Chains A and B, each alone.
Chain A
């Protein structure tokens, strides 16, 4: 699991995934695996195959994470920013970030509580009123250190805590990347492509072109998903429960799970005694939406690890869920040709 921690330490905000891509390339099981980086930045790795089946399977997990981008430098040397990917702006005040390739340390500021008036104390701060302070003396000094267009990532060190939990940034979707890296160690009865995609968080862009290149029969998206099994949330609003196994999505905003694949994964779960849960809400979307509708259509399924506080510097997942996901997907894939009559 140290590898998961290492993956989250890397900064790879949408459009700037090269550090993650290089790490994955360096850590692929066996150097003999063929891989290709396409024009948008997807890393496509061809798995080992016995050639027993003519199926072509695409596994997808996105390398990019949510973060910030510098849009303007003020006269007093503070950095205005936009979010890259969806984020709750209420979590930003007081967070430490690192800006640009030089990783200049910064903090997201807002005036101290002592000098906020009553209305300010009671309301959330709008994104447009926040800024990053890198302790620059003035605009000129700031410009020596950073530039507009630089990315800023959360400075959040991974921590293992509680009973088998990890807290980190970017678990969405480095956890999925790790699962594919592990699956690429095996020999498959069919042609398998492990696709580490880019720009998922800004509109599923990498997966769109990766699917067009691979032209798979089956697409399995390995993701993390919202997990709101926490106080303040009503039971029917909870989409997944932490520790209850990987979730299968019957539908979300961008795709509907393929019935044959769902049946096969559920049967595998029962046969192997590996827990799974339904993702019980249809909110959110992921690469499956683009893979499913690519080419002449692809049978697609999303398998996700529940992730609390997702899209924040303190996202949390349960390592049991991660292990069960790896186990379930591995077992289900090995018997996939028989299940689909191929």
Chain B
């Protein structure tokens, strides 16, 4: 399967943060044929295990979260309308005039509306709406709607991934199904590379709200090394350049207190050897990814991070380059397949 098709399929899966039970089984199907064992943990993390060849094998955990930002039904309004709250950091600027699916007793299609522009005061038109000012129009009468949808049901944006110029794609949930796609591509590469280490790929839950999936899986699996794969901000003309990464200009590798210096250096070395371009992703404090959780799990798990530049994050028009996804997968596969001979401090206690 080519990368574009893989990503289109993965982004089509609905897994709003906290509602991953809707999707875990579907994701497992992608890992199963490529692993020795694939399973779902009690919190719906989806884990694929592939045994290494070395008798002294170390274990490496690679995480990519599979939850997506979304909304939750918070109330009814007369006329077949629903009120909503956010699940994760959604940008209300990008919600108006969007199509959604309400995941009720059955999937219910709707569109997001707000007070129409001809009824706004000049001041109101200058403000960004709060999510409490938005509603979903389902087209059903009130009694029918109440049978189909309950308060607390999740809502996802409809915006299928479309192909664009220069091997780019755009749509919803590329944050972080693009990362999940790299997990599948890595497993694919490992079918033909002999790898010393035991590999766990983990599609994690609830990154968008609490890093729950990464916390649980790093504690449970207790790996020697964690590799976190997530998206980072792509180059957008109106954004601060220091926080953004150009598409197709190399794999951004995390640098900063969250990332283990020696393992990170080794990662740069592998990239150089394999002639894979890199960019330096400077994170002086909170990396904004699961590295924050894996780094402090148990007695501390050395963590490195790579990312995929993505424009217009948390909208239905997220945009990435497929070449970037493939570069990340190749780099990580080559890195973890090799001997991880970094000596991490001596145990004094």
Contact = CB atoms under 8 A, between A and B. Distances in A.
* B and A form one assembly: yes
Interface of A: 74, 76, 78, 88, 90-91, 93-96, 104-115, 121-125, 129, 131, 133-137, 141, 145, 155, 159, 161-165, 167, 226, 228-233, 237, 283, 308-309, 312-314, 316
Contact of B233 (A115, A125, A237): A115
Interface in B106-145: 109-119, 125-129, 133, 135, 137-141, 144
A309 B111 CA distance: 9
23 contacts: A94-B312, A96-B317, A107-B319, A112-B233, A112-B313, A113-B314, A114-B313, A114-B314, A115-B240, A133-B319, A135-B165, A135-B166, A135-B319, A136-B166, A159-B109, A161-B139, A163-B141, A226-B118, A228-B116, A230-B81, A309-B113, A314-B111, A316-B139
B117 A134 contact: no
Nearest to B235: A76
Contact of B237 (A76, A167, A229): A76
A232 B96 CA distance: 14
B104 to A, nearest CB: 13
B45 interface: no
Contacts, number: 191
Contacts of B33: none
B239 A112 contact: yes
Given A76-B237, A96-B317, A230-B79, 7 more contacts: A88-B117, A112-B312, A114-B288, A135-B165, A162-B138, A230-B113, A316-B137
Contacts of A96: 159, 162, 170, 316-317
Given A122-B127, A131-B237, A167 B97 contact: no
Nearest to B116: A228
Contacts of A93: 91, 93-94, 315, 317
B79 A161 contact: no
Contacts of B313: 112-114
A167 B98 CA distance: 11
B80 interface: yes
B168 interface: yes
A125 B93 contact: yes
B166 to A, nearest CB: 5
A76 B79 CA distance: 46
- Top 7 A-B pairs, shortest CB-CB distance: A162-B139, A94-B94, A165-B139, A107-B317, A94-B315, A135-B168, A112-B313
Contacts of A316: 111, 137, 139
Contact of B164 (A105, A113, A231, A309): A105
A93 B317 CA distance: 8
B25 interface: no
Which of A167, A237, A314 has the largest number of chain B CB atoms within 10 A?
A314
B113 A308 contact: yes
Given A105-B163, A112-B239, A90 B96 contact: yes
A112 B316 CA distance: 11
Contacts of B95: 94
B36 interface: no
A121 B161 CA distance: 26
Contacts of A78: 237
A96 B162 CA distance: 9
B283 interface: no
A162 B119 contact: no
B31 to A, nearest CB: 29
A95 B317 contact: yes
B139 to A, nearest CB: 2
Contact of B127 (A106, A123, A136, A312): A123
